[in-house]
Chains A and B, each alone.
Chain A
Amino acid sequence: MTGKKLAQRNYYGKALADLAAKDPNVVVMDADLADSTKTTEFKKIAPERFIEVGIAEQNMIGVASGLAASGKIVFASTFAVFATGRCWEQIRLAVAYPKLNVKIVATHCGISVGEDGASHQALEDIALMRALPNMTVISPADAYEAYAATIAIAEFDGPVYMRMGRSEFPTITKEDAEFKIGRASILKEGDDATLIGTGQMVALCKEAADALLEEGIDVEVVNMSTIKPLDRETLKASIRKTGCAVTAEEHSIIGGLGAAVAEFLSQEMPAPLEMIGTKDTFGESGAPDKLFEKYGLTSNDIADAVKRSLDRKKEMKG
């Protein structure tokens, strides 16, 4: 069962507003997209600590770095494509390398951006951020988790990248649950396969698991809301039990969650792995649900991938 449909960015805005009142050290920056990223919620409460930089993401990261080096907790927001791609090397030198307290929180990740098309659909941002030393990468499963993660990363000392979606989608976690960085959660236990989702794919994983249960396939569903550092212990325990895995992300399978899990499995406990995600391609304009169908990101696609991983497990045993 999933909960009501909510947009993550609205809960990011709510969390920032709460932080504005709670911590005078928090500074929020945006690059002309505050209405969309919802950083306006912070601006309403602490306008003097809201810094608009205009359409200048590279400068935003440099300024964020200088603020953080002066003791501020800095949230820098824009769309995921611009937040990670436009200024990757600025993030590398000015944030990751000196390990500064900058939280790059991006909205509009993935093809669920919809009609704006490929230029605005970040499908490579996890890969870009995951490759950086010192960077923590977070991808909350729903709006409630986006709120909790925002509070958690404000308390965490160091660079963080967090990605969120644009649209409303079903909640799957409990409101007011604490967010633990680096800790995956198990939404449903099962013995046959381990289904690992991140972001809004977690709700679809749960949907797929519920459908598979009716066919007698009992899948364990893991919400991997921190992609780096990867929760290897949870993965190890689950895949040792099930013997096969499927990952699901609204991101390219190159360099994202699937790749992170593949790196872990191939080096520590080889097991069949199927990946749901975009396959080395850009997105396009369209309604998000239609795009999910075209790019193979629906709960049916996930269920099919689970069956493929089960077949491969059988072949290996056979």
Chain B
Amino acid sequence: MVAMEYTIQELEKKANALRLDVIEATTAAGSGHPGGSLSSADLLAALYFKVMRHDPEDPEREDRDRFILSKGHAAPILYSALAESGYFPKEELATLRKMGSRLQGHPVKGKVPGIEMSTGSLGQGLSMACGMALAGKLDKKDHKIYCLLGDGELQSGQNWEAAMLARHYHLNNLIAFVDRNRLQITGCTEDAMSLDPLPEKWRAFGWNVIIINGHSMIQIVEACAKAKEAETNPTVIIMNTVKGKGVSFMENNCDFHGKACKAGEKDQAVTELCRI
């Protein structure tokens, strides 16, 4: 099992290490999705080094918590979290998106240990998470299912089919996160297809809603602790975040949704992240 004794400050350092991995890997690949990876780095650090019960030595152990990256394009941050946890060697991050690599452009179940589900086509992860949560209930297990959703992908109707089901079957073992960075490829989510008022939508579907600053480690950890105590219904943690968080020229810049840094940009990004 991963030691879960990290302090908030240490978790913040982990998040920064994950961000550096993302920049290195996507720059080496020459493509990928750094923006949405950086906005969810703090969450992934919290989940893999504090919140989740998991074991890189025994990735298939039955009582593990499961994590599904519904916004599969943020694969670099998931690969970084898995590598930093010890699921596979960190050097392998340099193979991201290359021919023959286990680190495909979007996550593939079974390719590397720790990937619970194939994702990448948006709008499907919450349904998959519901299935895992239902299985947990059927088997009377106490593990949790965590699912990270992009905000843009909530424009897809299947999420709301899943939201209905999760409430209908009282899946209190399901905890969803929305990476509310307010940007998608086209630009602002509210211009592409408005999502606000987002908390009200989830509340109307019967979910517990917690709203936090997605870059505050203490808020993430506390929100997860609260969500784990949910008695009857699923919980969504809406994380207000900044796309490209941690690198000045990437922040709130939707150009970096699906584009890697150039060599010079990378040096600046690394310098900035090393200063934190």
Contacts and interface: CB of A to CB of B under 8 A. Distances in A.
Interface of A: 27, 48-49, 51, 53-54, 56, 58-59, 61-72, 89-90, 92-94, 97-98
Q: In this complex, which of B109, B127, B139 has the most chain A Cβ atoms within 10 angstroms of its Cβ?
A: B127
A56 B130 CA distance: 14
Given A97-B108, A98-B110, A67 B118 contact: no
A63 B116 contact: no
A67 B124 contact: no
A69 B117 contact: yes
Interface stretch (B159-167, B179-187, B265-273): B159-167
A251 B165 CA distance: 34
A17 B255 CA distance: 55
A69 to B, nearest CB: 6
Given A93-B118, A97-B108, A98-B109, A64 B131 contact: yes
B218 interface: no
Given A56-B161, A62-B158, A97-B108, A70 B119 contact: no
B94 to A, nearest CB: 25
B187 to A, nearest CB: 25
Contacts of B139: 70
B121 interface: yes
Contacts of A71: 135
Contact of B130 (A27, A62, A68, A98): A62
Contacts of B124: 58, 62, 90, 93-94
Given A66-B129, A98-B117, 20 more contacts: A56-B161, A58-B127, A62-B128, A62-B162, A63-B131, A64-B131, A65-B127, A65-B131, A66-B130, A67-B135, A70-B131, A70-B135, A72-B138, A93-B120, A93-B124, A94-B117, A94-B124, A97-B118, A98-B108, A98-B109
Contact of B134 (A54, A58, A63, A97): A63
A72 B135 contact: yes
Nearest to A71: B135
Interface string B116-160: 111111001111111111111011000000000000000001100
A49 B135 CA distance: 10
B116 A69 contact: yes
A63 B121 contact: no
Bin the interface of chain B by size.
20 to 34
Nearest to A24: B138
A47 to B, nearest CB: 12
Nearest to A72: B135
A89 B118 CA distance: 13
B119 A67 contact: no
Nearest to A67: B131
B193 to A, nearest CB: 18
A62 to B, nearest CB: 2
Contacts of B133: 66
Contacts of B117: 65-66, 69, 94, 98
A56 B165 contact: yes
Given A58-B127, A97-B108, A66 B134 contact: yes
Closest 10 CB pairs of A and B: A66-B131, A62-B127, A70-B135, A59-B161, A56-B161, A63-B131, A98-B109, A66-B132, A66-B128, A67-B131
Contacts of B119: 93
A68 B164 contact: no
Interface in B88-125: 108-110, 116-121, 124-125
22 contacts: A56-B158, A56-B161, A56-B165, A58-B157, A59-B158, A62-B125, A62-B128, A63-B127, A63-B128, A63-B165, A65-B131, A66-B131, A66-B133, A69-B116, A69-B131, A72-B138, A89-B121, A94-B117, A94-B118, A94-B128, A98-B117, A98-B118
